[in-house]
């Protein structure tokens, strides 16, 4: 029996529900899109919702570069106690603290200390590898994990609302940050700065690089009407600076050869005369070298 042709390559921007893992979403997209060549850029915790960028076919080559981009979130931080996972799924650490004296001014002042270029200790249950083993797996195996602080950038940390609920004080916040920033750790550190403890109760990713919830569809919507959010050319053109080249240079790119330096900062997309996205490249001194060839010769 003949196999169905593979789907066209591109990106699917998923609005992930609370509950499934990012790996679960990839599994469902493999069935929906009819291909094994599916991957995601930037894991979302099971409790988190929102933007998950998924690559189909050769667009999976873009994912490692997209996962390094900036991200935006809305979240709810509960003051009053920390947990061993820094979120609502963990075990509370000690008795609830009194939050009655916490004011909006105090919250904003504490948030300011966690804004900008900071050193952040990731959550112990993160996916960071410690001596080759995921931190969360070490925790599950009963080990004590100490993760060193890492530099991250929190370009925006804004208070959207404050609500008191019995002994608790719930903060609705918005976060703009670099890749590698843990919003759970921000909740933990905000609670520590206020002397109350704190943990995350809700998290929604609203943006990964240029891709927002406006691009996104739920898994259920995709199952009912499978299709890409952006083809490869649109994805590259949206996420990276663009360099258009002539036929001769396009042939060089297809064969993985270098081009004269383009004078563009960082990684950029190279497009042929017909609008095909040929490669991601980056200037290295006097030449631009391929980072990923998307349309190889042959």
Same domain, residue pair 273 and 286: yes
Q: Which domain holds residue 226?
A: 10-69+209-232
Top pLDDT among 1 and 274 is at 274
Task: Return all residues near 14 (Cβ < 8 A) that are at least 6 apart.
Answer: 25, 29, 51, 52, 53, 54, 216, 217, 218, 219, 222
CA distances from 274 to 4, 161, 280 (A): 27, 50, 17
Of the candidates 201, 222, 248, which is a domain's last residue?
201
User: Does residue 54 sit in the same domain as residue 157?
Assistant: no
- Percent of the chain exceeding pLDDT 90 equals 75
Q: How far is CA 248 from CA 244, 255, 282, in A?
A: 12, 11, 19
In a domain, 18, yes or no: yes
One domain, residues 227 and 254? no
Q: What residues pair up with 170 in beta bridges, in sequence order?
A: 78, 163
Considering the domain architecture, whether residues 58 and 97 belong to the same structural domain is answered as: no
Q: What is the mean pLDDT of the chain?
A: 91
Residue 296: predicted pLDDT: 81
- Looking at the structure, tell me whether residues 48 and 77 fall in a common domain: no
- 17 in any annotated domain: yes
pLDDT tens-place string over residues 66-76: 877 899 999 99
Rg of the Cα atoms in the chain: 22
Closest CA relative to residue 41, chosen from 174, 229, 254 = 229
Residue 281 and residue 265 in contact, taking contact as beta carbons nearer than 8 Å? no
Quick one: pLDDT at residue 154? Answer: 97
**Poorest-confidence range of 135-144, 180-189, 246-255, 265-274?**
135-144
Domain count, the chain: 3
Q: From 90, 86, 84, select the one nearest 191 (Cα to Cα).
A: 86
> Is position 4 within any domain?
no
Per-residue confidence (pLDDT) for residue 226, from 0 to 100: 94
Q: Is residue 1 part of a domain?
A: no
Residue 62 and residue 76 in one domain: no
Is residue 136 within 8 Å of residue 127, measured between CB atoms?
A: yes
Longest dimension (CA), the chain: 71
3-state secondary structure of 10: strand
In this model, does residue 256 exceed pLDDT 80? yes
Residue 298 in any domain: the answer is no
User: Same domain, yes or no, for 82 and 196?
Assistant: yes
Residues 217 and 100 in one domain: no
Active site residue ranges: 45
Q: What span, in angstroms and rounded, lies between the C-alpha atoms of 14 and 11? A: 9
Is residue 76 located within the same domain as residue 183?
yes
Say whether pLDDT at 133 is over 80: no
Shared domain for 139 and 253, answered yes or no, is no
Q: What is the pLDDT of residues 210-241, one digit of tens each?
A: 999 998 999 999 999 999 999 999 999 999 99
146 and 255 share one domain:
no
pLDDT at 156 over 90: yes
Residue 17's pLDDT is what? 96
Distance (Å, whole) CA 77 – CA 218: 25
| Position 109 in a domain | yes
| 250 domain residue, yes or no | yes
Flag whether 5 is in a domain.
no
CATH classification of the domain holding 140:
3.30.2350.10
Q: In terms of domains, do 61 and 75 share one?
A: no
Kindly indicate the confidence band of residue 143, based on its pLDDT and cuts at 50, 70 and 90: low
Q: Is 247 exposed, middle or buried (0-12, 13-18, 19+ CB in 10 A)?
A: exposed
């Amino acid at each position: 029996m003949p196999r169905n042709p593979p789907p066209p390559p591109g990106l699917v921007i998923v609005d992930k529900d609370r509950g499934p893992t990012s790996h679960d979403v990839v599994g469902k997209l493999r069935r929906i899109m009819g291909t094994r060549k599916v991957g995601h850029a930037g894991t979302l915790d099971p409790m988190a919702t929102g933007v998950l960028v998924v690559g189909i076919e050769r667009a999976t080559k873009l994912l490692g570069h997209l996962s390094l981009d900036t991200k935006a979130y809305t979240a709810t931080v509960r003051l009053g106690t920390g947990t061993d996972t820094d979120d609502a799924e963990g075990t509370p650490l000690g008795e609830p603290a009194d939050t009655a004296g916490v004011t909006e001014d105090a919250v904003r002042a504490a948030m300011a200390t966690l804004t900008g270029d900071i050193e952040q200790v990731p959550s112990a249950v993160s996916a960071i590898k410690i001596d080759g083993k995921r931190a969360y797996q070490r925790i599950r195996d009963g080990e004590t994990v100490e993760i060193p602080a890492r530099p991250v950038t929190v370009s925006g940390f804004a208070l959207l609302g404050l609500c008191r609920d019995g002994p608790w004080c719930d903060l609705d916040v918005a976060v703009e940050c670099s890749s590698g920033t843990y919003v759970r750790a921000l909740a933990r550190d905000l609670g520590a700065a206020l002397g109350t403890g704190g943990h995350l109760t809700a998290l929604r990713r609203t943006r990964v690089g240029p891709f927002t919830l406006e691009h996104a569809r739920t898994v259920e919507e995709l199952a009912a009407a499978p299709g890409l959010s952006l083809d490869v050319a649109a994805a590259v053109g949206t996420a990276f600076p663009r360099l258009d080249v002539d036929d001769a240079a396009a042939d060089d790119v297809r064969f993985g050869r270098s081009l004269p330096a383009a004078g563009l900062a960082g990684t950029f997309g190279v497009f042929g005369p017909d609008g095909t996205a040929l490669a991601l490249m980056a200037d290295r001194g006097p030449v631009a070298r391929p980072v990923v060839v998307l349309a190889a010769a042959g």
